[in-house]
Each structure stands twice: as structure tokens, then as C-alpha cells.
Structure 1
Amino acid sequence: MLSVHTSPLDQPGTGDAGGMNVYVLELSRALARRGAEVEIFTRATSSAQPRVVDAEPGVRVVHVPAGPFEGLDKNELPGQLCAFTAGVLRAEAHRPAGWYDVVHSHYWLSGEVGWLAADRWDVPLVHTMHTMARVKNAALAPGDVPEPQGRVIGEEQVVAESDALVASTREEAEDLVRFCGADPDAVHVVAPGVDLDVFAPAAPADGGAGPAARTALRERLGLPTDRPVVLFAGRVQLLKGPDVLVGALGELERSGAERPLLVVLGGASGRPTAVRELRALAHTLGVADDLVVRPPVARAELADWYRAADLVAVPSHNESFGLVAAEAQACGTPVVAAAVGGLRTVVVDDVSGVLVMDHEPATWARVLGGLLADPGRRDRLAAGARRAGERFSWDRAAAAMLDVYAQAAKTHRTAR
């Protein structure tokens, strides 16, 4: 596995760490449970990091020095790909010949490295894009910066050189063909998973999912027990749309409607001032007291936040899958999500949540306000949410991915 710009061991929810970190680590763990040995190469970002971390049996994370440890923006990483590739090739040189059977790269930067490594070792290259420049640029949030042309070209190169491409949804598969010129026969749809042991409704031993259990959970998390709570979990950046939710609070305030407490569980990404800007927007709209920003938390605690919320909101401008939505639903919490990308697959409209067709704060205020005023509908959606969440598991994803690797090996041998 290659994950150049972010380590699967990093805490998701701030900086460049997000759903891809979870994807790489959880997929690797599931592959290891099926007997594979997985080595994940990622760029070292601190001199204190150990060179090698055995995350668990069968999963090893290797930190490769490439450029300065700190202060290097993701957009500056293309200049360090030669150094990173050299580190990966050196590591392989200490292994017996034929050590690796497949290279699986994640995000276009890793694909550039994987292209060379797979060619050098004469093994298949499997690539997961996660996000695509042309798709992101077609759905930019107001004020956001478009992806550079260098990335567009890089993605086309990786697609052309891959033996197999993995998409999370059928829509993403179609985008690979339309925007990157992928061969449809080389594209495989493998839905990511959810750890259904961690992300589940409250167990009967913990008081179940009733009002008393939620009250106790909120008290433990420091949340109010006498007002609705809407949760946003993810990086604070324009792409993810937390400003849309703050704008919705402002619309509810102007109309005199009851306002929920909006909890943002995440840190700044892209701009270090992102959290401060979000708080400033809330102050300007007169809803500063309705916004709470907390740092991201570990997975087990994140499940508690999902369970404690009345609704989880995912107002992203683009999502290739939408792992937060899948996890929240698995916990039995309805999701209000933008009708974009993979969220249209993950969230079943009016069954497990509600899909919102635009990013206008007035629309989101109307949808959120309507759901919070209708506990009967929320209960129905909560039941559907758990069923929708159970569609995704990492073990199923790993089984499908092993099939992709086998097909990629056949393609690679045929192309020799």
C-alpha cells in the first residue's frame, strides 16, 4: 500500500487526515485477517516517528523520509516524489526477489510512485483515486481554490498505467471513465466498509438506545440534555461545508425557530484559520452560543458522539463515498447529507436520512428544523439508518479487493 501524503496512523479529522486514513488502515487490517501481509509506505512527518510500526499482525507501516518533516503543504509534495520513491525502492531491495505481489496506491500522488515501483518490480498496479481533481473543480465551494492542472495530468497518467482502478461507488466508476479516460473494463466497484463492532447502536448492557441512555451519554460528553444536537464530524474546510450548517443556524435564528446545538468535531484543514473563521461566521450571524467546536476523537469515542446526536449532518460539496455518513447510520443515527457523489449511495433518502439537493443555508435550515420538530420521523429514519449501515463491512471489502488483485495480476501478465 502507498499513502504518500497522510499516514493511516494519523488521527482523522484535521490537516490532511480523513476518511482515506481510515480506509487504508481498515482495509489493510481486513486483508491481514484473510492471510495477506500488508506493508504501508507513507511519508515521515516527524523525526520522532519510528521507522517501522507493526500496527498489528500482518500490517506494517513504514515511514519514508522525503523532504522536511514539518511545514510541507500537500501541494508541495510532488517535488518530493522522487525522494519518496527512492525510499520505497530501497526498502524493497532488502527483501527477497519477488517479495511484493501487488502495489495498491491511494490518491494520485501515491499513484505516481506506484507506477514506477510496480514497473520496477514487474507486478500489477491497483489504484484508488479517493478524489479526482476534475470532479472537485466542478463542485467547488464558494471561495475555495481549484485543484492545479498538474494534478489533472498526474491523475490521467496514473489511470493510464494502472492494471486496475478501484471506485467506491458506481458513480465514481463513471467519473473515472468520463474525467480520466479510464478503460471501463479496468474499473472495479468495491464499497468501503464500516467497523460494525465499533459503530453500532448502544448495547443493552449500556442502557440501550432509549432517552435515558442518550441523556447519560450526553452528560458524559458534556452536551446539553434539554435541546437537540446536530453533529458535524470531519475536517473544517470549505469542501466539507461546515459553514453551510452555521448559515442554517442563522436562518433558524432569523425565523425565530428552535435552534439545535451544532457540534463540530474536527480541526482546521487547508487554512490554519479555518476554525476561527467558522466561529467568526457564527458570531456575525448571532448564533455563536449555538456552535461548539471540539478536536477530533478516536474511533470508539466518535461512535459515542454519533449515538448522542439527534442528527449527523454531512454538507460536503463533494464526497467519493462518505464514511462519516456510513458510520453514523451504523450507530442508528439519521444523516442529513448533500446529494453529491457517494453520499447518494450511502444515504437512502427518507429511509436512513435525508438528501439535500443544494448547499443553501435556508434549505438546510428547513430540512434540519423539520426533522428536529418531528420525533416520529426521526425514529423511523433511525431504524432505517442501522439497516443501511449494515450494508458495508471491511471484511466484504477485503474479499472483493483480493478478487481485484487477482484480476489485475492476470491483466498484468497478459500485457507483458
Structure 2
Amino acid sequence: MRPLRRIAVLSLHTSPLAVPGGGDAGGMNVYVRAVSRELVAMGAEVDVFTRSTFEGQAQVERPRPGVRVVHLGGAPADTVAKEDLPLRLPRLAADLRRFADADAAGRYDVIHSHYWLSGTVGLELQRDWQVPLVHSMHTMAKVKNLHLQPGEAAEPPVRIRGEQDIADGAARLVANTLTEASELKELYGTAPERIDVVPPGVDLAVFHPAGRALDRREAGVDDGLFHICFAGRIQALKGPQVLLAAVARLLRQRPGLKLQVTIIGDASGANPLDLGQQIDELGLAGRVRLLPPVTAKELARHFRSADVVAVPSFSESFGLVALEAQACGTPVVATNVGGLPSAVSHGVTGLLVDGHAPDDWASAFGELFEYPAFRTQLGSNAAIHAAAFGWEQTAALTVHSYQHAMDHFSPV
């Protein structure tokens, strides 16, 4: 077994330093940041390469000892949309190479790329550096195209071709769940022996159930008020519009219900949703709070103040929000799709809903409102379930994938 000293992590389209819930920042940002931290704790040095957030940004930041975040020029996030990045990849790759060539720290032992844009560059580096590439898809074009919403454009052929090249050429592929591993096999033809299943983790020091009553009071959630929370990018794929339609249906069924909805996140994507308009059209004014993205500690407080967290996504490779909410002792109502059944145990830690019909979602929320003892039991089970998903385990399994890639890599 070769020693693992230095790791190059590619997260080119979004910085791990960005706050999840807005723009292109989401669970992947949390994933890269947390795993990098744990890899350093295991004795490795990690360089995370990402595009700059704005022109003139300092090239290197050190968020913690052992981790460097290297900002690459040519495609600042404040002016260049993710959709335009394929044409900017050569410039980002050239900037990355210049940094690595001038760096005195020495060669990397392994490259870990996240999302297809990073994987495209990772394939070039695998060939040129003669270092194995481990790749995490996080989301896949063929899967997203199966769940397109009205008004959403299909993922472009350039992405599908890029993902196929990565699936064919990377030394190892990391999948979040068995479902994702199956999708890689069925949709991209990846041999199962090249796939490692590594579940994401949760920061149990931040997301925990202690202090639920206090957080509920500080959030202004009165006794008897049924509080539903949503956190994520405001785009059709994440389903906040489904939540609002279901809440409107629930209120028509139960006109006297004291209910509050908190939606945390910013608009994302080429066709952002106008939730304010939907709230007005559904007559939900005064019942829904729209908040910007918040820090992890603030998010945990919101989750602890809620009776239920809604994850009505149309596609999820795992659903990190669902796991974080459960770690706070809050049951989750989630779509029975993608990796969410791996994160949420139906009838044990929350409820899974088939499809996105407002009646079905209203029924799930109504069941949790009607039976508070059941809701409390789900929350207790949820905290126990989530406690098994520490980032330490994720990092350890990731290192196993790295070692496998290093031990079996054949330079060409």
C-alpha cells in the first residue's frame, strides 16, 4: 500500500467556501469542505482547486492547517454562469497547471474531481501527471433529464459526452448510494468493480437535537404552531413550489390550522422560481418566511425549530439536507427518488412520498400534524439514524477508494 500524502481536489464550478443554498452552492460544497477537513486529520495535505469568486481574489486561502483553497482565474463566479464554464475550462486548466508546476510541495498522489466539469479537467491531469483520478458525479445529466420540469431545458449533449468520458476513463468512481451506483452502471455502462459506494456524512457537532425547545422559542415559533422548513437552492428541481402547493391544499382541508413555513435559500439556475408570486396566488401571505442562505449553525437552529423538514426534490444523488435535519431530531418528508430512500427510512425517521402531487404531500404533512406522538418518535429515531453518518466514516471510505486507485493505476 503506497502512502497517501497529497491530494488534489477539483471543485471547479463552485467553491467549498461558499455558503450552500444560493447560486451553484449546495451539498457538494459541504461535502468537499468536510471531507478535506477529515483527510487532513488523517495525515494528508489537501489542495482544493476552484474558480475564483470575483476578479482579483487572492489566489490561495488557508481555511485550516493542511488545506489550501486555490482560486483559478478566467471564470469568476460573480460574472460567469455555470452554463458558460465548458468554454472556460481550458483557461481554468492552464491556471491550475501553472500553480502546480510552480509549487514546491511536490507531486500529488491522487486527484479527486467533483462534478463533470472538474472531471473533464481531471482526465487530462490523470493522463499528463500519471496520477489516478477518482471522480464523484454528485448529479448526472441523464438522470436529471429524466426528471425535467416544465420550462427547464435538458442538460446539453456536451455534458452527457463529458460524463461518459469520465465514466469510461477515471480510475475509480465514487457513488453516494447504491442507487447512484446502479445509475452509473445502467446509464453510463460503468463496470461495478470500478465503483465505490461512499455515503456522505453530517457534522454531528453542529447538527444535533439538543436545544430544540430553546431554538423553537428563539425562532418565534409559538406553541401549537406547525412549522415546516425547507432549505436548498430555489429552483424547480428542488421542489419548493411543490411544498407551497401542498401547504395550500393542507390549509384548505384544515382551515383552522396554525401553520408556518420557512424557506431558506436563494434563486439558482437559468429559470429561477418566483416564490413570492406563487405565495400570493395561493393565498399564503403571512404564513411563509423567505430567508437567504445561512451558516451551518444557523441552519441547524432552524431545523431544530421545525416540526418537519420537507425535501420535495425531483432528483437527488443523496439529499444531505435530509440527513442534517434528521441529525437535529426533526423528521423529514421527502420524495421517494434517487438517494433519498437511503437517507430517510419511511415510517421510521420520516415519510417518503411517491411523486409530487400536492394531495399526497398534504396528506403526509397532515399525518404528522395529526399524530404528534408519532412525529416525536420519528424525530427520536431520526437523530439515532443520522448519528451513524459522521464525516470521519466518509473520509475513511474515500481513502480506501484512493488507495485502490493508486495500487491498481497503470500509467499510459
TM-score, normalized by the shorter chain, greater than 0.5: yes
The aligned length equals 403
Rate the CA distance shift 1:26–1:68 in 2: closer, same or farther, 3 A. Answer: closer
**Residues 48-80 of structure 1: CA distance to partner in whole angstroms, max 9, x if unpaired?**
522100110111100000235532111110000
Say whether the 8 Å CA contact 1:98–1:121 is kept in structure 2. Answer: no
Offset at 1:226?
4.1
* 2:359 is aligned with 1:362: yes
Q: Answer with 217-226 or 284-293: which moved more.
A: 217-226
**Residues 144-192 of structure 1: CA distance to partner in whole angstroms, max 9, x if unpaired?**
2221111111100111110000000011001011111212111000111
TM-score (norm 1): 0.94
**Residues 214-265 of structure 1: CA distance to partner in whole angstroms, max 9, x if unpaired?**
2x42342344444110000111100000000100121123223425211001
Q: Partner residue of 1:71? A: 79
For the residues of structure 2 that align with 1:396 and 1:111, how far apart are their CA atoms? 24
Q: Partner residue of 1:267? A: 266
* 2:37 is aligned with 1:40: no
1:9-408 aligned at under 5 Å gives the runs 9-67=17-75, 70-96=78-104, 99-202=107-210, 208-209=211-212, 214=213, 216-257=214-255, 258=257, 260-271=259-270, 274=273, 277-408=274-405
For the residues of structure 2 that align with 1:111 and 1:292, how far apart are their CA atoms? 38
For structure 1, list consecutive stretches of 5 or more residues without a partner in the other structure. Answer: 203-207
For the residues of structure 2 that align with 1:225 and 1:76, how far apart are their CA atoms? 48
Identity of aligned residues (%): 46
- Secondary structure at the aligned position of 2:334 is classed as strand
For the residues of structure 2 that align with 1:74 and 1:137, how far apart are their CA atoms? 17
For the residues of structure 2 that align with 1:6 and 1:367, how far apart are their CA atoms? 34
Offset at 1:350?
0.5
Say whether the 8 Å CA contact 2:180–2:339 is kept in structure 1. Answer: yes
Which 4+ stretches in 1 moved above 4 angstroms?
none
Rate the CA distance shift 1:238–1:30 in 2: closer, same or farther, 3 A. Answer: same
Rate the CA distance shift 1:317–1:348 in 2: closer, same or farther, 3 A. Answer: same
Say whether the 8 Å CA contact 1:279–1:291 is kept in structure 2. Answer: no
Say whether the 8 Å CA contact 1:249–1:259 is kept in structure 2. Answer: no
Q: Which amino acid aligns with 2:284?
A: V
**Residues 362-415 of structure 1: CA distance to partner in whole angstroms, max 9, x if unpaired?**
1101110111121010011011101111121111111111111010012213x6
**Residues 121-154 of structure 1: CA distance to partner in whole angstroms, max 9, x if unpaired?**
1100000000000001111233322211111111
Q: Which amino acid aligns with 2:259?
A: P
For the residues of structure 2 that align with 1:112 and 1:164, how far apart are their CA atoms? 14
Say whether the 8 Å CA contact 1:196–1:330 is kept in structure 2. Answer: yes
Q: Which amino acid aligns with 1:254?
A: R
For the residues of structure 2 that align with 1:16 and 1:122, how far apart are their CA atoms? 31
Q: Which amino acid aligns with 1:255?
A: Q
For structure 2, list consecutive stretches of 5 or more residues without a partner in the other structure. Answer: 1-8
- Secondary structure at the aligned position of 1:288 is classed as coil
Aligned alpha-carbon RMSD (Å): 1.5
